[in-house]
């Protein structure tokens, strides 16, 4: 089986993108995996620090590894939005395929220093264990909450978008494998609609740093913007809030209609199916199917 790095490179050459979806329980994992298998496309499972704490760092690694080995399927695990070298190290030591070090709140040079530390540790560990481990970093500000938002988070504006020259410098100084820029995207779903993406900025950043780009905050983005962004250099797209909303609404609907039901495998199934539907449609779009 090809490595995650090889699948990302292949996606870039084909002008498509790999879908990245977050989980905090096994139901979400089932829904995502079911959708990916139906379309026969690679998929990345993400767990933020909070999600990882709930589902279990080692537990989710074992589950994803089991699916990959049992079915010989390209499903990968990413430590999404980890905020320190120590937390990234724990995830990589547990066997994760990739990790995102998110230090956008720090001064640039301090961000570079710690990000580079993560890159160097990933290379050292990868060489020791015979694994190809990817480190991603975020540059620019897009907010931090995967939830329904009444308005754009404070600090999200054109002024805090990633500049192509900054992206080039950051990649050169850190050696990261993946860059998540701020290009009009925002974590969470904004009531009334998310802002439009700055497609020209994506193109400029891609040309400047020659590095695979990751679009965070994919929930709520218009299909036409996804298509244009992928065409201009986005290689991975993150979706989280959309599947959280679908899961919650399905559970609420079932329990409202079946108030006496107490068997989890019955009232949770609708949540799995709802996640699967969202992921299926997103993967179909990202892979131009």
Across the chain, the runs of DSSP E, i.e. the strands, are 18-22, 43-47, 75-82, 98-101, 134-139, 148-149, 178-181, 189-190, 213-215, 234-239
Residue 58 annotated among the catalytic residues of the structure: no
What residue numbers bound the domain in which 261 lies?
A: 4-286
Give the Cα separation of 24 and 28 in Å (integer). 7
DSSP state of 219: T
Residue 200: pLDDT band by 50, 70, 90 thresholds? very high
pLDDT at res. 150: 54
Cβ atoms of residues 161 and 120 within 8 Å: no
DSSP symbols for 80-145: EEE-SHHHHHHHHHHT-SEEEE--TTS-HHHHHHHHHHHHHHHHHHHHHHT---EEEEEES---S-
pLDDT at res. 160: 78
pLDDT at res. 219: 86
Of 100-104, 195-199, 211-215, 245-249, which range is least confident?
195-199
Looking at residues 155-165, what average pLDDT do you find? 79
Q: Is the pLDDT of residue 154 over 70?
A: no
pLDDT tens profile 218-277: 888 999 999 999 999 999 999 999 999 999 999 999 999 999 999 999 999 999 999 999
* Spatial CB neighbours of 46, under 8 Å, sequence gap ≥ 6: 20, 21, 22, 23, 77, 78, 79, 80, 238, 240
Q: Is the pLDDT of residue 179 over 90?
A: yes
pLDDT at res. 159: 74
Cβ atoms of residues 171 and 115 within 8 Å: no
pLDDT at res. 16: 98
pLDDT at res. 275: 98
Phi-psi region of 147 (alpha: psi -120 to 50; beta: other; left: phi over 0): beta
Residue 57: pLDDT band by 50, 70, 90 thresholds? very high
- What percentage of the chain has pLDDT greater than the value 90? 85
Average pLDDT, the chain: 94
pLDDT at res. 17: 98
Catalytic one among 58, 80, 97, 132?
80
Q: What six digits make up the tokens of 97?
A: 């395929």
**Structural domains counted in the chain:** 1
The distance between the two most distant Cα atoms of the chain, rounded to a whole number of Å, is 59
Looking at residues 59-86, what average pLDDT do you find? 98
Q: Is the pLDDT of residue 281 over 60?
A: yes
The enclosing domain of 271 has a CATH number of 3.20.20.70
Looking at residues 53-63, what average pLDDT do you find? 98
- For residue 270, CA distances in Å to 30, 148, 260 come to 12, 21, 16
Give the Cα separation of 47 and 279 in Å (integer). 16
């Amino acid at each position: 089986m090809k490595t995650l790095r090889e699948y990302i490179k292949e996606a870039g050459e084909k002008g498509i993108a790999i879908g990245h979806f977050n989980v905090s329980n096994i139901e979400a994992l089932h829904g995502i995996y079911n959708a990916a298998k139906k379309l026969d496309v690679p998929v990345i499972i993400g767990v933020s620090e909070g999600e990882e704490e709930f589902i279990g760092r080692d537990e989710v690694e074992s589950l994803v590894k089991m699916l990959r080995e049992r079915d010989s399927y390209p499903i990968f695990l990413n430590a999404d939005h980890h905020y320190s070298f120590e937390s990234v190290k724990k995830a990589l030591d547990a066997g994760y395929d990739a990790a995102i070090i998110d230090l956008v709140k720090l001064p640039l040079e301090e961000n570079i220093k710690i990000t580079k530390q993560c890159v160097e540790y990933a290379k050292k560990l990868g060489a020791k264990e015979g694994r190809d481990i990817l480190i991603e970093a975020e540059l620019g500000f897009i907010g931090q909450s995967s939830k329904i938002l009444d308005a754009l988070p404070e600090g999200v504006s054109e002024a805090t978008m990633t500049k192509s020259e900054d992206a080039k410098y950051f990649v050169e100084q850190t050696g990261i494998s993946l860059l998540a820029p701020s290009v009009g995207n925002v974590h969470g779903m904004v009531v009334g609609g998310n802002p439009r993406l700055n497609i020209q900025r994506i193109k400029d950043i891609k040309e400047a740093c020659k590095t695979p780009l990751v679009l965070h905050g994919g929930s709520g983005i218009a299909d036409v913007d996804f298509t244009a962004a992928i065409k201009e250099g986005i290689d991975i797209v993150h979706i989280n809030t959309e599947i959280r909303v679908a899961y919650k609404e399905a559970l609420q609907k079932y329990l409202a209609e079946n108030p006496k039901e107490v068997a989890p495998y019955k009232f949770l199934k609708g949540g799995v199916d709802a996640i699967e539907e969202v992921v299926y449609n997103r993967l179909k779009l990202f892979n131009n199917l």
